[in-house]
Structure 1
Amino acid sequence: MASAQLYLDTRRAKVDGTFPVKIRIGYGRQAKLFNTIISLSKTDFERVVIGKGKLSDHLKAVKPKLDTLIKKANVVIEGLTPFNIETFTTRFFQRGNRLDLLFLLKEKADKLWELEKIGNSNLYKQAWTLLVEYHKHTSDSQELLIHTVNVKWLQNFETWVGRQTRVDKKGIILPKYSTTTLGMYLIRVRAIFNDTISDQLIPNNLYPFHTPQNNKGYKILKGGGNKRALQKNEMQRIFDYIPKTVNESFAKDIFMFSYLACGMNCIDIFRLKWSDIDGNKFTFIRKKTEGKLGGQNKITILLNKELSEIIERHGSHKLRSDLIFNVIPDDVNEVEALKAVRSSISTINQTLKKIAKALDITTEISTYFARHSFSTNQMNNETPLAFISKQLGHTSLKTTENYLSDFSNDKAEIYLSSLLENTN
């Protein structure tokens, strides 16, 4: 069993005659010394550590600092089974309380930001913000210790979130957070639990979420089936629409590009390069799954006549930029690139609503409708689920199944009519 104790390194005195105080970690027959910023004389060290003699004001200030270091070292040691000196070193010098859920969420957000995983970083930051707000209502402590977050805590948090409201432009009171949004935040909380258990900071039995082995655990709610798919005839009407402005032309074409390119997300469309095109096809990796384990699947899209014409109308000059669409400026960092993409998507969505209104199609339309419309219309065409899943860039068929809208009424009628041979 490893142990931690204060150690006065008397091998070399400082100019003032004091010696460095270090943390000695003993494990097996080995030991390692860790520096502190504190130096003491031999006499003062005995007073602080052994309690021999009266403490001066200076030593009264020093003692709590050393006590905190020893306490932190012991906490790290207790969380390491078996003990590993490299892991101890990493954890001992990490800032913050490794058992504070709020700290861990914020730390994860910051790390993802540094890795330019901006979207996921923002979700961790938003989850942190919401948990901080809730924690202020339930505790005076600045920390939310991870072992206090159990099934009951999560249920109470869910109830509190459900009571939060907002007022829209028409003065109508609406829920502030959707079930989907809450689910996305709690998925990040669950990921923190997975990390802390993997790092042996907490035991498995403190895991509060539902698993096949723990059917009493908390189940993260899923969205209530807000499917955003347009029928084929509605997509055809948008395709046939004659734009009246440059904005309408770009919005319509990017929307149709997404639909015809197997539900390709706008962020991936705007990152497409001329070098991605190879003859009559192009290949890309989804930005959303880039860098994920098992998420590096390349998606190949056949470059049909309609897609080629859209590129011809809106593509940038090959010699000026490698990017096909002139949305992301050259030589910008990931944050600025994401801002440019979001700004363009916002303008496209506003323009799509005007087009949809003119065509008497739902004005709730957005660029994301193209992705859902592709998958659902492919399903109604009886396209194999495996193909739809592959083209969407999903890593599991279950994800695709959750993604699809219901079958159209016409398809449902055809399928049900085959229950008996002579059904009319």
Structure 2
Amino acid sequence: MAKTTEHKEGRATVKVVYYTHKTLADGSHPFMVRITKDRKLKYLATGLSLHPKYWNEAKREVRKSFPEPGREELLTKLQEWQTKYENAAKSLAADDEQHDAPAVAAKAIEGRKATRRIKLLAYCTELSDAMKAGGQVGNATIYRDLRNQLAKFLGEAYPEAGGDIAFDKVSVSFCNKWEASLRATGVEEITLSQRFRTLRAVLNKAIAAGVAKGEYYPFARTVAEKHKFQVGKFDVSTAKRAVSRDELRCLEALVPANERQQLAKDVFLFSFYGGGINFVDLAQLRWRDLTGASADTGYPERLNYIRQKTGGKFSLRLLAPAAAIVGAYRPFTYATPTSYVFPVLDPAKHVSPTQIKNRLHKVLGQVNKDLKELGELAGIATPLTTYVARHSFATSLKQGGVATGVISEAMGHKSEAVTAIYLGSFASEIIDAAYEHLL
């Protein structure tokens, strides 16, 4: 007689993976929990992400170049996610009950809910801390600021909440009250849009993580959900500002009174002639990003850099005015190829992502203040900012008859995925030729 063996339920495999198939708005890729059971996969968001420059694909690990203590904090949080879902898989296997990957996910969430019930502000803090640990200092600040704004509102409008509020209390009525409260303080439409888009992102992450229920979601997902809160109702259109070529000539002819004004002038003109590069990228350019040398002037001929916001790669020919600007800084800022081109960041002082972010924010404010003064001296009616330089670049190309698609590629507009499509469909020679319209 043939022997029979008693069925033993297998255990699901759990692994936290760096999910490169999805790219976030800041160019980073998320870490996902991958649960495998009976050859079927389920992915769960962790809320943690990392820019690809800090990921070693060959070793499948976070690079040691990732600044501490951020690297250690990120690794600790990733291990916590791994352990939590592994324990859930072990528990179900030990019970010897038939189950699948979603059951493992549900078991892990069940355990999490049993230990604590996360509320809105606490979750905002958790997200902010995770982003900071992942090197996303800018996003961490946005979520921290949201938490602080909500805390102030809760203290005034919901004193009975005891300082925090459950996710199921974040209703349409709650959103309407917060909007009214913000409007009473004179908050502009674009700020309202940003605040509510961030709140919406928090709720989406909470639902994905299983700490909030989708049935209480207050935001409209479709046109039919008119009874829900409409984030798109805010008027975020801004007056499009650009200076004319004649006005730009006036700025070029202006002699700054001091080094600070000179830097502001150079930042504006380099952004205009350098493909509309934004201040954050411009300030972090290193001499190794400049290649080639003109036989006539000795100035670099090409700029190659990765945009901080999206991770998109850019390569452009330096027009003579831009090349002359960086050439003037070389005697003062060049020490090694890794030296910064512009005198904004000090590699000895500004090391961590937070230090760099704070320094850039401070200098940008001063540069924009100096640009407004320079604009007035040059007789330019439009208040000058680094944004105006970027917009003037795009407007000049458009007026020169350059196709919108080419301008989109040149500026790195839209998401990284869309930018990647543009980069794959246009030759760099087209972009190089387009810049001739600036001269």
Would you call these one fold, judging by a TM-score over 0.5?
Answer: yes
Indicate which of 248, 252, 260 corresponds to 2:261: 248
In structure 2, distance between residues paired with 1:29 and 1:86 = 12
Tell me by how many angstroms 1:306 deviates.
Answer: 0.9
8 Å CA contact 2:113–2:211 kept in 1: the answer is no
Which aligned pairs between 1:285-324 and structure 2 lie closer than 5 A?
Answer: 285-289=306-310, 296-315=311-330, 316-319=333-336, 321-324=338-341
Tell me by how many angstroms 1:90 deviates.
Answer: 7.9
Tell me by how many angstroms 1:24 deviates.
Answer: 11
Tell me by how many angstroms 1:228 deviates.
Answer: 3.3
- Three-state SS of the structure 2 residue aligned to 1:30 is helix
Tell me by how many angstroms 1:348 deviates.
Answer: 1.6
Structure 2 counterpart of 1:30: 94
1:359 lines up with 2:371 in the alignment:
no
Structure 1 counterpart of 2:273: 260
In structure 1, distance between residues paired with 2:288 and 2:91 = 56
One-letter code of the match for 2:264? A
Identity of aligned residues (%): 22
- Three-state SS of the structure 2 residue aligned to 1:106 is helix
In structure 2, distance between residues paired with 1:29 and 1:349 = 61
1:163 lines up with 2:178 in the alignment:
no
Tell me by how many angstroms 1:218 deviates.
Answer: 2.0
One-letter code of the match for 1:277? L
Indicate which of 111, 120, 141 corresponds to 1:122: 141
Structure 2 counterpart of 1:4: none
- Three-state SS of the structure 2 residue aligned to 1:84 is helix
In structure 1, distance between residues paired with 2:363 and 2:93 = 63
What's the RMSD between the two structures over aligned residues? 3.1
In structure 2, distance between residues paired with 1:233 and 1:215 = 50
Bigger Rg over Cα: 1
Structure 1 counterpart of 2:198: 188
Tell me by how many angstroms 1:305 deviates.
Answer: 0.9
- Three-state SS of the structure 1 residue aligned to 2:117 is coil
1:333 lines up with 2:352 in the alignment:
yes
- Three-state SS of the structure 1 residue aligned to 2:281 is helix
1:235 lines up with 2:248 in the alignment:
yes
Which aligned pairs between 1:12-411 and structure 2 lie closer than 5 A?
Answer: 30-31=94-95, 82-84=103-105, 87-88=108-109, 91=112, 97-98=117-118, 100-139=119-158, 140-141=160-161, 142-164=163-185, 175=186, 177-212=187-222, 214-216=224-226, 217-220=228-231, 221-279=234-292, 280-289=301-310, 296-315=311-330, 316-319=333-336, 321-331=338-348, 332-362=351-381, 364-395=383-414
Tell me by how many angstroms 1:303 deviates.
Answer: 1.1
Tell me by how many angstroms 1:319 deviates.
Answer: 2.6
Structure 1 counterpart of 2:34: none
One-letter code of the match for 2:329? H
- Three-state SS of the structure 2 residue aligned to 1:201 is coil
In structure 1, distance between residues paired with 2:224 and 2:104 = 28
One-letter code of the match for 1:338? K
Tell me by how many angstroms 1:92 deviates.
Answer: 5.8
Tell me by how many angstroms 1:87 deviates.
Answer: 3.4
Tell me by how many angstroms 1:256 deviates.
Answer: 0.6
Tell me by how many angstroms 1:357 deviates.
Answer: 1.2
Gaps of 5+ in 1: 1-22, 33-79, 165-174, 290-295, 401-424
Tell me by how many angstroms 1:320 deviates.
Answer: 7.7
8 Å CA contact 2:278–2:387 kept in 1: the answer is yes
In structure 1, distance between residues paired with 2:120 and 2:352 = 30
One-letter code of the match for 1:255? F
One-letter code of the match for 1:246? E
One-letter code of the match for 1:150? S
One-letter code of the match for 2:206? T
Q: Deviations over 1:254-298 (max 9, x none)?
A: 111111112211110111122222333222222122xxxxxx321
Greater relative contact order (Cα < 8 A, sep 6+)? 2
8 Å CA contact 2:137–2:353 kept in 1: the answer is yes
